[in-house]
Amino acid sequence: MSSQQNCIICSIIAGNIPSKKVYEDDLILGVIDMNGANPGHCFVMPKNHYAILEQVPDNEVAKLFQASNKISRAIFESIGAQGTNIFLANGIPAGQTVAHVTVNVIPRKENDGVNLQWAPKQLSEEEISTVELKLKEQAKNVAIDKPKEKKEIRQEKPLELSKEEEDIYEKQLRKIP
């Protein structure tokens, strides 16, 4: 774990600032946001210091979002949220206020007063095409780790789920709009 001087998130990770931990593994920490948008609002962050998402190694990005997903599920099950926003402000113009990558997992209920909506901008076909070309060209230069191929597993009989597993799947289906 590296620490960046004067980084409030690194101070939380180091234990210099008290926090309410809800998740921790070797690379990731999840804590309750004491001034969150709703009760149960959590921050999920890499323990290593990275100012913006592009600096985070792919394996840590994967763990960051896996932990965020686990915390989201816990929010649904424990405090009865009807939805969650999983939000990352990446860079000052995007609203990032602390120079440490942090994912917000915000519990949501109908009419809770939290507004993350924006007015859509209508782009011309020319603007869309220009942006598309620029993004495609730049994406060619970005290396992405390819997942290892999975061996095909043949299943002779239908998968049987326990009552507990069926209940979990049923709860997940209720979250789908």
Give residue-wise pLDDT tens across range 136-150.
988 888 766 666 666
Residue 142 lies in a domain: no
CATH code for the domain in which residue 13 is found = 3.30.428.10
Q: How many domains does the chain contain in total?
A: 1
What is the predicted pLDDT for the residue at 162? 74
Percent of the chain with pLDDT over 70: 81
Residues 6+ apart with CB under 8 A from 79: 39, 40, 107
Residue 115 lies in a domain: no
For the ranges 74-88, 112-126, 138-152, the one whose mean pLDDT is highest = 74-88
- For the whole prediction, is pTM greater than 0.85? no
Cβ proximity of 27 and 48 under 8 Å: yes
Residue 150 lies in a domain: no
Residue 172 lies in a domain: no
- Quote the Cα angle for 73-75-80, to 5°: 110
